[in-house]
Chain A
Amino acid sequence: KAGVTQTPRYLIKTRGQQVTLSCSPISGHRSVSWYQQTPGQGLQFLFEYFSETQRNKGNFPGRFSGRQFSNSRSEMNVSTLELGDSALYLCASSSDRGRNEQFFGPGTRLTVL
């Protein structure tokens, strides 16, 4: 079974631009969660999507948004980029059954200049 894939792997943007990141979950997984990882703040939860609906949301500003498609693939968008948005963005999928552990993708490294 293929793992979680994320594209692109690396991205460089400038302040004020917007960016869209993509995540394809493990086949059969309907839950997709997004996290931001920085050296100072660690791993922070952004939001979770399940069956095309946002099920949980973290404490991030409205510039951060996401969506999920009928095939469970998910995208997250960050508008009006700030220097502080530079981070590793990780996507995780889960089966929503049993212990429901999350399987992480390799991440997208975003650098905002």
Chain B
Amino acid sequence: GQNIDQPTEMTATEGAIVQINCTYQTSGFNGLFWYQQHAGEAPTFLSYNVLDGLEEKGRFSSFLSRSKGYSYLLLKELQMKDSASYLCAVRDRKAAGNKLTFGGGTRVLVKP
């Protein structure tokens, strides 16, 4: 089975940087996703890591260490609109296709 942990809530100031950690234990690994979900809306895809290292996309970066079962999402130059929940999800290697296990989500509150 899969077990995914991430902090419940984080608060940061506009313009600052926030790092959201995600640790996972899995019987098989085939990629890690980060999604953003604003209140009352559907999750939207942010990033994907399947190999170790850093993936950068604008203000958002995601890092993966498969040996440590660890990932983080880095949000730079925070804006008020970044207030949302951030979901870490792992794809099971043993299952064909898509079977994602999600963490509980980290609610990020950006303050002025």
Query: Which residues of A line the B interface, CB within 8 A?
Result: 4, 31, 33, 35, 42-45, 48, 50, 55-56, 58, 90, 92, 94, 96, 99-107
Given the known inter-chain contacts A56-B95, A101-B33, please indicate yes or no for A42 contacting B45, CB distance below 8 A: no
A45 CB contacts on chain B under 8 angstroms: 99-102
A104→B98 contact, CB < 8 A: no
B43 CB contacts on chain A under 8 angstroms: 43, 90, 104
B104 CB contacts on chain A under 8 angstroms: 42
Q: Which residue of A lies closest to B33 (CB)?
A: A101
Q: A43-B43, A43-B102, A101-B33 given; name 19 further pairs at CB < 8 Å.
A: A31-B98, A33-B98, A33-B99, A42-B87, A42-B103, A43-B87, A55-B97, A90-B43, A96-B98, A99-B31, A99-B50, A100-B91, A100-B98, A101-B45, A102-B45, A102-B98, A104-B42, A105-B42, A107-B42
Set B44, B50, B87, B96: member contacting A56, Cβ < 8 A: B96
Q: Which residue of A lies closest to B31 (CB)?
A: A99
State the main secondary structure of chain B at its contact with A.
Answer: loop
A48→B97 contact, CB < 8 A: yes
Query: Which residues of B line the A interface, CB within 8 A?
Result: 31, 33, 35, 41-45, 48, 50, 87, 89, 91, 95-105
Q: Which residue of B lies closest to A101 (CB)?
A: B45
A31→B97 contact, CB < 8 A: yes
Q: Which residue of A lies closest to B104 (CB)?
A: A42
A100 CB contacts on chain B under 8 angstroms: 31, 91, 97-98
